[in-house]
Amino acid sequence: MSKAMLQSMPQTMYDKIWANHTVEERAGGTALLYIDKHLVHEVTSPQAFDGMRAAGRSIHRPDSIIAVPDHNVPTKDRHLPNPDPMSTAQLTALEANVKEFGLNYIPMDDKRQGIVHVVGPEQGFTQPGVTLVCGDSHTSTHGAFGALAFGIGTSEVEHVMATQTLQLKKARNMRVTVTGSLPLGCSAKDVALAIIAEIGTAGGTGYVIEYAGPVIEDLSMEGRMTLCNMSIEAGARAGLVAPDGKTFAYLKGRPYAPGDDQWDAAVAYWQELPSDHDAKFDKEVTIDGNAIVPLVTWGTSPEDVAPVTGCVPFVAEFEAEAKQEAVIKSLEYMGLSEGQLIKDIAVDRVFIGSCTNSRIEDMREAAAVIKGRHVADRIIEAMIVPGSGLVKLQAEEEGLDKIFTDAGFQWRDPGCSMCLAMNPDKAGAGEHVASTSNRNFVGRQGPGARTHLVSPAMAAAAAIAGHFVDVRDFIRGSS
């Protein structure tokens, strides 16, 4: 096939970004892919830096990296010594490594510090059309800008540091189109959960998902990040949304975004990225956005989703024997019974935060529900953890922190926190947690903890009521 013919073939956005970054084609659909941007945190990098040192290698492009601690930083009492010596060892190692290798670094006491996937976009580091990686599976978040962004393992972190490339096999193209418009009380989190419920946690394995349709176009940049963040929970290593006017407006003037002298050229390049109208996708899924309702997970896999108005399913509803066994195990772990109403699940702890839902819009969404109300007596702890120091400052400027603390919520410092409980923020065994994070896996939020994934508005409403409740009733004021 001639080059001219190849260029005239309709391409998806993923095809275009892949082609733009191919350094060398290899056998069997594999390529050496150039990586533009690399985010580094304290947990998955120390062994990579060690490998670099051991081999006497230098970092190919130090300017392509921002390092920031997030996974195990404490979210309170930061002025005191860190109580966990193992965490301290990782935080100290990161600081020493960035110094030794000469990298951009945002330390814990910097107001820009936060979760890598909140910091990258906020700094304008995340841009349309780039390849962006991080040793964290939720790197898919950055696809909200039309960046090809995906999580990598520690060996790959080292590979990118040393070579600025990865050896990768091209994924297939999937498009998920969400039609209609989102009903009142629903947000991007419900869209993400609805998609995972539809295609399953392995539905996107081997694919890059492009999200399209009016519901996606209507989402804010924050909402698109929430959606792309959970692509990995559907099995897809990356998610993508076509960049548009909202994307450009978000980026303009941010520290790492193209400056005035290069802005027009960059926008012109970005406008070429969206999939050609006749591009072919290997798999197409359509979701009716009008039919989406506030959702709650009941099991230990993100595909275990029920409407808040519904109930825990019966084991017999599942066809596959292996899934039936998994459901039995899940219900036992979660302490739930078949047919139990979702609204009857009492909540013990509430966590609003994580790279899925800790941006300013999420804070506002929670505050709108919380304002003038109070956390229920039975709640052991209700915690709001902003995604970055800048989100925290913005929320405080808007007076949201006051709304939260008046209602009995704790207002913390930024970090990954109880999403994965690597720091002291944990749930106890048997406790039900209304959580805006991304994974309801066994033990994820602490040994024996029972996680229910929900939107910020639903988590806020559960904190007020002490059990799951339809946030639409709150909004209508009839509760």
Partner 1 sequence: MQKFTKLSSIATPFPRVNVDTDIIIPAKHLKSIKRTGFGEHAFETVRFDSEGAPIEGNVFDCERYKDANILITGDNFGCGSSREHAPWAISELGFRCIVAPSFADIFSGNCVKNGILTVELPQGDVDALVLAAEAGHEIHIDLEEQTVLCQNAKYDFEYNAAHKEMLMAGLDEVGQTLRASKAIGSYEQKQKAATPWLFTAD
One residue of 53, 63, 290, 378 binding partner 1 per CB under 8 A = 63
Taking CB under 8 A as the rule, does residue 328 contact partner 1?
A: no
Q: What are phi and psi of 390, to 5 degrees?
A: -70, -40
Pick out residues in 28-57 that bind partner 1 (CB under 8 A): 28, 30, 32, 34, 36, 43-44, 46-47, 50-51, 55, 57
**Do the Cβ atoms of 67 and 45 come closer than 8 Å?**
yes
Residue 426 in 3-state DSSP?
A: coil
Supply 435's token pair.
């959580």
Q: Which residues contact 254 (CB under 8 A, 6 or more apart)?
A: 122, 123, 124
**Do the Cβ atoms of 455 and 447 come closer than 8 Å?**
no
Taking CB under 8 A as the rule, does residue 136 contact partner 1?
A: yes
Decide the pairing of beta strands 349-352 and 30-34. Answer: unpaired
Region from 144-152, 174-182, 289-297, 362-370 binding partner 1, contact rule CB under 8 A: 144-152
One residue of 76, 78, 84, 283 binding partner 1 per CB under 8 A = 84
How many residues bind to partner 1 according to rule CB under 8 A? 82
Closest CB to partner 1 among residues 187, 300: 300
Taking CB under 8 A as the rule, does residue 27 contact partner 1?
A: yes
Region from 10-18, 75-83, 337-345, 441-449 binding partner 1, contact rule CB under 8 A: 441-449
Q: Is the dihedral of CA 201, 294, 217, 225 positive or negative?
A: negative
Q: CB 195 → partner 1: shortest distance, Å?
A: 16
Pick out residues in 354-383 that bind partner 1 (CB under 8 A): none
Pick out residues in 282-301 that bind partner 1 (CB under 8 A): 301
The CB density around residue 355, as the number of other CB atoms within 10 Å, is 28
Region from 7-15, 335-343, 392-400, 438-446 binding partner 1, contact rule CB under 8 A: 438-446
Pick out residues in 249-278 that bind partner 1 (CB under 8 A): 258-259, 262, 265-266, 269
Q: What are phi and psi of 171, to 5 degrees?
A: -85, 170
Closest CB to partner 1 among residues 399, 430: 430
Angstrom distance (rounded) from CA 70 to CA 75 = 10
Residue 167 in 3-state DSSP?
A: strand
Pick out residues in 230-249 that bind partner 1 (CB under 8 A): 232, 235, 237
Nearest residue to 143 via CA among 155, 162, 128: 128
> Please, which residues bridge with residue 297 across strands?
305
Closest CB to partner 1 among residues 231, 388: 231
One residue of 12, 75, 82, 90 binding partner 1 per CB under 8 A = 90
Strands in 298-449 per DSSP E: 305-307, 349-352, 381-384, 410-411, 432-435
Give the per-residue contact string, 158-187, with partner 1 (x = CB under 8 A; - = no): xx--xxxx-x-x-x----------------
Taking CB under 8 A as the rule, does residue 141 contact partner 1?
A: no
One residue of 144, 152, 449, 457 binding partner 1 per CB under 8 A = 152
Pick out residues in 448-467 that bind partner 1 (CB under 8 A): 448
Nearest residue to 165 via CA among 44, 71, 64, 49: 64
One residue of 123, 126, 137, 297 binding partner 1 per CB under 8 A = 137
Instruction: Count Cα neighbours of 200 within 13 Å in the Cβ-side half-sphere.
Output: 5
Q: CB 86 → partner 1: shortest distance, Å?
A: 4
Taking CB under 8 A as the rule, does residue 346 contact partner 1?
A: no
Strands in 107-221 per DSSP E: 131-134, 148-151, 165-169, 172-179, 207-212
Q: CB 376 → partner 1: shortest distance, Å?
A: 27
Taking CB under 8 A as the rule, does residue 210 contact partner 1?
A: no
